[in-house]
Chains A and B, each alone.
Chain A
Amino acid sequence: MHTPMKLSRRAVLGRSLAIPLSLSLSPFMALRSEIANAATSSLAIVMNSGEASVSVIDMATRKVVRTLPTLREPSHWALSQDRNKLYIADASGNALFIVDPHTGTALGHKVIADPYQLGFTPDHRYLVVNALRLDYVDVYHAEDLSLAKRFSPGSMPSHLDFSPDSRWSFNSMQGSGTLVSFDLTTMAIRWKSKVGSTPAGVLWHNGKVLVCVMGSDHVAEVDPVTGDVLRRVKTGVGPHNIFLSPDGSTLYVSNRIGGSLVAMDPTTFAIQRTYPFHAAGPDDIGIAPDGKLWVTLRFREQVAVLDPKSGTYETIDVGRSPHGIFLSSELSRKGPITAEAL
């Protein structure tokens, strides 16, 4: 691992040799002040898949305060148990980038194969990584990121979630049309279930597994024990990803073809409201303490901050193809913090 921050400071130091001392210190002071400010206000950390960068946004001012370089294609994130490291997957860069989630500064990177979507088990024993380009699901020991087990369960492993007891992992196989469950105690595949065309987002919810069937118009509810599809809930055309609000009051589904976000009752699955995003490609979301939804817009190089009550939103320019989003305001919340269970 190496630390890009050291490079920045070296650059600042180099500049200070060429200009008067009072001026030379100002970039360094500005950097320190920026980091200090960032530490006190909440940050939105946005993974720009098409631009090999991460945008760090001050949530209060809605300004991008820093852009961190990655290798190629940052997509999703997972938070370490001590909440001091945000692991950002960079699939075609074959690396995990590590960012301080409190300050939005880079801490280094670790080489692993093709991390696309990833998640720590709730007990933080394992990090499970979907390697979409390689058709692998890799299970790493969380403490040192050494490979514990590699599975070849199907084509294009996409999204994942876990049972709360950390025994089972549920991974969607985009190319095979299956949801695959792994037993992480025996390191074996439990079942493969044909859930429909192009399954994507996965969420453990009320003792069941919800999976977005992107090649159709619904979310499938799956029995986690048998893998049977219990019911199918229409959400809109091309449901891509699914999230639960922190207070458990709302399920949100982003529809790739419909270009919309829908809010659903978490018990009845009745659609409460649809939020259209005109040809913007809403993808992942984060929910701020004020209830506003921070939505990445893949086709717009923007993040939308949506007021779910009024349905209006403002936008913040970021890099190309913004994908995953992490809000540091989540850090003070109790309980597991994952990309799906917000």
Chain B
Amino acid sequence: MLIFLDRLFNALAGEIDQYLVLPLLYHFGWMQWEELSFDWVLVCVYGMFAVIVTYAVCWPLEALFPIEHWNDRKTVVTDAFYTVLNRVGLLPVVSFLLFYQVQVWVNGFVVAHGYIPPTLETVVPALLGHPIITFFAYALILDCADYWRHRLSHSWRGWYALHALHHAQRQMSFWSDDRNHLLDDLIAAIWFGVVGLAIGIPPLQFPLLFLFMRFVESLSHANIRMSFGWLGDRLLVSPRFHRLHHGLRAAGRHSCNYGAVFPIWDIVFRTADFSAEYPPTGDRRAPESMASGGYFAQQLGGLRFFLDEIRAPSKKAHRGS
């Protein structure tokens, strides 16, 4: 089944690349990207599949076991826009192109100074030839890196002002995972760029495993009264576990449950909260435009909030209330 899907998606990506993307690159004189265009289309095809599967699984669950009932879903629609923008690859591709030369310069600089970024398999040779174990090793390490990125974003006022866009949503659903400020996304990209220099990029031969992890992240934001049980909640981030992170009390500097996929890092670093609660979500301090505005209003509101916060250095850092 997985091999069938993989071949189907490759054939579909090949058709799109051959008849749509490559002619466009050729027409505009951008053929230097042809080597990557097939990968981009493949990301789009897999991303589209992931969005459809996420919707097909989460929407009925939200309908059957909702935590909250909403009359107006305008802000949910905006979140869906974020998801499509990210998951079908448009935003990642544009970012890649915008910052391509920076990547070339940074990677070229470190190599010129005698540092060739390793991979986990070159550091731990026993991993070579065991791609699934390698994948999970990368997943755990990158999840740990993301835990600290996320935790630090709650620690510094200016950074949190950007991250508050993610927390401002009062109608949190499975669409909310990608609701982020562009500058917050940029910081995350730099963060993982640095991690990549240290341990290399993860192997990409298991796109479906990668998508499963993204699915867990989407599900963890869903408006579903669901936990995975005592053990399950400690193995994978569940909707209940992550909702505690988005609760009104946890918005800001003193939060909990920072993990994106694996709760292990919250357990290890003592920030885990396994309370059986489904608190209301949102951030009372965030400007209303960040909660209920459209895409551009949210981005602009986040930028203003960020500037306000960094211009007021003497103000006490926000504490969740």
A residues sitting closer than 8 Å to B (CB atoms) are 2, 4, 7-8, 50-53, 69, 71-72, 92-95, 109, 111-114, 131-136, 150, 152, 155-156, 174-175, 197-198, 214-215, 237-238, 240, 256-257, 259, 279-281, 298-301, 317, 319-321
Contacts and interface: CB of A to CB of B under 8 A. Distances in A.
B56 interface: no
Contacts, number: 132
Contacts of A317: 7
Nearest to B115: A113
Contacts of B128: 2, 4, 7, 69, 71
B116 A113 contact: yes
Nearest to A68: B129
A214 B13 contact: no
Nearest to B37: A256
Contact of A198 (B11, B34, B126): B34
A52 B131 contact: yes
Interface in B1-29: 6-7, 10-11, 13-15, 17-19, 22-23, 26, 29
Contact of B26 (A114, A237, A319, A321): A237
A327 B271 CA distance: 56
Contacts of A94: 116-119, 122, 200
B292 interface: no
Given A95-B122, A240-B34, A256-B31, 4 more contacts: A2-B128, A71-B128, A111-B118, A174-B35
Interface stretch (B104-112, B221-229, B251-259, B283-291): B104-112
A300 B26 contact: no
B204 interface: yes
B179 to A, nearest CB: 30
B201 interface: yes
A69 B26 CA distance: 34
Contacts of A93: 119, 200
Given A53-B205, A113-B111, A279 B15 contact: yes
Contacts of A72: 119, 200-201, 203-204
Given A53-B205, A93-B119, A257-B22, A69 B31 contact: no
B108 A136 contact: yes
A301 B7 contact: yes
A132 B36 CA distance: 12
Contacts of A134: 104, 107-108, 111
29 contacts: A2-B125, A4-B129, A50-B39, A52-B131, A69-B129, A93-B119, A93-B200, A94-B122, A112-B116, A113-B111, A131-B111, A133-B107, A134-B107, A136-B111, A155-B32, A174-B31, A197-B31, A215-B29, A215-B32, A257-B22, A257-B23, A279-B15, A279-B17, A298-B14, A299-B10, A299-B13, A299-B15, A299-B18, A301-B6
Interface SS majority for chain A: loop
B38 A281 contact: yes
B34 A214 contact: yes
Contact of A257 (B26, B38, B205): B26
B121 A71 contact: yes
Given A93-B119, A175-B32, A214-B31, A238 B22 contact: yes
B200 A320 contact: no
A238 B23 CA distance: 9
Contacts of A150: 112
A93 B31 CA distance: 24
A259 B19 CA distance: 10
B122 A111 contact: yes
A71 B121 CA distance: 7
B29, B39, B111, B117, most chain A CB atoms within 10 A: B111
Contacts of B7: 301, 317
Contacts of B14: 279-281, 298-300
B116 A320 contact: no
B142 to A, nearest CB: 15
Contact of B17 (A109, A131, A299): A299
